[in-house]
Amino acid sequence: MRDEEILSGSLIDSSWLTLEQLAAACTVEPGWLLRHIEDGLFPHAESVAGVWCFSSHSLLRARRMRQLERDFDAVPELAALMADLLEELDELRARLGVAG
């Protein structure tokens, strides 16, 4: 799959992805994810019995971070900060939509 191709679909909150599945969905090597986890850039990553588990929110975060790193040559910490801000913006927009 080429970098320019866009995958679309619905996020499923109750599904969990393995490290390999998340890496494949983001077109990165598992080592990329492990380095970011070790650096504390995926705060919600969980290791259960030695197996990494990621939520759909982690998928969105990983894709955003990868895109920022690739498109803007951003260092991982800056990409993570931007992902944090985008997540907060998404949350605020959702609250605003509920509040009317």
At 39-86, the pLDDT tens digits run: 999 988 989 899 999 999 999 999 999 999 999 999 999 999 999 999
pLDDT at 44: 86
Q: With cut-offs at 50, 70 and 90, classify the pLDDT of residue 8.
A: low
Tell me, what CATH number does 82's domain have?
1.10.1660
Residue type, 63: R
Domain extent, residue 71, equals 17-99
Q: Could you tell me if residue 3 is inside a domain?
A: no
Are 82 and 71 spatial neighbours (Cβ–Cβ below 8 Å)?
no
Side-by-side strand order, sheet with 17-18? 17-18, 51-54, 46-48
Phi, psi of 49 (to 5 degrees): 55, 40
Q: Over 90: is that where the pLDDT of 10 sits? A: no
Q: Could you tell me if residue 28 is inside a domain?
A: yes
Please state, for a pLDDT cut of 90, what percent of the chain lies above it. Answer: 76
The domain tally of the chain equals 1
pLDDT at 14: 61
